[in-house]
Structure 1
């Protein structure tokens, strides 16, 4: 028996989503939501548990002991169960479910869970659903744990793309902190302040970024640089300034390259102004990843969207997701899909249309079935060729 009091006239599918959205799961405090996920997954007939790092896991296998002509093919449905902070009263208004995480990304996660339980799978399929913890943090602890233990033949990432959208890729990322310290001086003096130091550094970085972006029209292929925080303090003897910057990186530029660029820029400034001292630290490096429309996951999702009478919309996103974490490791067909308008991510008005949520379940069911048959056919062909 579920503990939430649902609004009237909610479908079983919407009740599952309502329960999960109603259960707070800010990054680092996901346990209660993971337990709700496991209860619903078990009720749907899946083998569910919470793993060592707190991920909510649901498994379904059609690989019997009698199947000896090929190995089981593994399909991963990787969503995340954590959310950013910010309370939104959970409610249903005019067919929309409001609440933190309804779009990012409990809507996509619940759609995958339900689809996994309903897909008509042939023998020899290992289907795995994960509500990963920590996706909204730079550590992505849940996805990193899973990436070292699963070896899927294909993966769908549960992120909002709209029920008729398929996300082919995400940009990379690097977070930087520049710190400057200098003796306290009078503002009428000639020596640059700590704030001057980090400001000059950032201005030079922007020049390099603008030079790289010159002639590049598509945002996905550009470097995006943003100041996340700028602060200064003084104890009367020393000045301290801190600038936190975020870089969204295209496929042509990795975290190592942008790190080198920033250090070279810092060193050049210090060479011209030996009195300056700027310390740099970095975190959250992720490499951009993009596939194309020929990817088997993209094809399966696109075909399913067409079968539902819609035209699939391929997308490239300027943010990052757990796709960036697992794609370089798994090296399998991969794309992101899920209901919801991603422009509502992290906003005080976050909500998901329930009809879109239901439509996405049907799209996922068919896509999973298509993928399963294609992967099994390839596996059998591989066995025949090697025998």
Structure 2
């Protein structure tokens, strides 16, 4: 679909107002509707057709030379929303702030309402397609629905913080498992291991199975499988007859491996108990030579910055898009990812402005090449 859609001017002040409005609206996963309404209102005000689909995504289809998409939801947590000048005493070398410039504080300003608002502004300015997806911070229900409900675009730019000079081309995959075990209850003086011990022994074995081999201390984290327990619960059952244990685990999978191999390795360590797996997210590593990556490098240089090619140790919706669509893609957005989910989450508004300009140039370049 390469429908012709009129473009419209979006002054930077209006783009900033959209950003501030969206950050001011609490939108943790599952509670995105008010923020979604604000996005629909923004597109409608500029003559663009937009609606909220059956899972809650904001859809604004147009020229599919490129699809700009980011997530509407944030993680829980309250960071007071305010715009303040950057304080020289608080500046950090890795945060793109200069003394005196306006900085927006608030949950989601970096992850990923900043990228979301920048993409909405760029989509209206250039007439390209836009989707704001829901549930990225939990189960990616919005992206999972999108890849089966719409045609493949010619290119995708996913919105996550990379800094105005960063182009993210790789993410590790994601595998979530739930281990469950039970054992007969008995006096704690007995030597036989109980279910809680079985759970911890299994997890220790899994961690050891994925430890880098001797001499591989210099292997980057991106190229390793990392295993992390995120919750454990156990104790005597309600009827007092057994000990029960549940362990929630996450494994990150590098592009050099497939999720199925990692799952099998974890299961090979299983002697007692069972483990069930959620639907996995595959890893992704895009080429730096695609038209999307080239367009970003040129656009970033126009902003007098040196482009950086990034690989992230986490996971994003781009993994799902790459697994379903055979088109070039990259991830981009304003903000320092070290501030994701942090109590001091904040975004330089000057950086936000530059990201809108970069996205506009990229979308224009890809749309012109598609004509």
Compute the TM-score of the two structures, normalised by the length of structure 1.
Answer: 0.84
SS at 1:163's partner residue? strand
Equivalence for 1:256: 260
Q: How does 1:273-312 map to 2 (within 5 A)?
A: 277-312=272-307
Q: Is residue 71 of structure 2 the alignment partner of residue 96 of structure 1? A: no
Separation of aligned partners in 1, 2:259 and 2:56: 28
User: Which of residues 75, 79, 82 in structure 1 aligns to 2:66?
Assistant: 75
SS at 2:111's partner residue? helix
Q: Is residue 329 of structure 2 the alignment partner of residue 334 of structure 1? A: yes
Task: State the shift of 1:74 in Å.
Answer: 3.2
Note the residue ranges of structure 2 that are not aligned, 5 or more in a row: 1-11, 86-101
1:97-152 deviation digits (Å, cap 9, x = unpaired)? 11111111111011011111223x7xxxxx210110111112x1111121121310
User: Which of residues 25, 28, 32 in structure 2 aligns to 1:26?
Assistant: 28
Separation of aligned partners in 2, 1:263 and 1:213: 23
1:332-361 deviation digits (Å, cap 9, x = unpaired)? 000000001111111111111100000000
Equivalence for 1:384: none
Separation of aligned partners in 1, 2:252 and 2:213: 13
Separation of aligned partners in 1, 2:109 and 2:49: 24
Checking the alignment, whether the CA contact within 8 Å between 2:196 and 2:235 is kept in structure 1 is no
Q: How does 1:1-387 map to 2 (within 5 A)?
A: 11-61=13-63, 74-94=65-85, 95-119=102-126, 127-138=128-139, 140-148=140-148, 149-211=150-212, 215=216, 217-235=219-237, 236-266=240-270, 270=271, 277-376=272-371
Separation of aligned partners in 2, 1:297 and 1:213: 39
Separation of aligned partners in 2, 1:368 and 1:15: 22
1:10-54 deviation digits (Å, cap 9, x = unpaired)? 922211101111111111111111000111122233221112221
Separation of aligned partners in 2, 1:284 and 1:17: 33
1:232-277 deviation digits (Å, cap 9, x = unpaired)? 12133210112211101001222211211122211xxx3xxxxxx3
Mark the CA change 1:333 to 1:200 in structure 2 (over 3 Å): closer, same or farther.
Answer: same
Give 1 or 2 for the bigger CA radius of gyration: 1
CA RMSD across the alignment = 1.6
Task: State the shift of 1:212 in Å.
Answer: 5.9
Note the residue ranges of structure 1 that are not aligned, 5 or more in a row: 1-9, 62-72, 122-126, 271-276, 377-387
Task: State the shift of 1:211 in Å.
Answer: 4.6
Greater fraction of residues in helix: 1
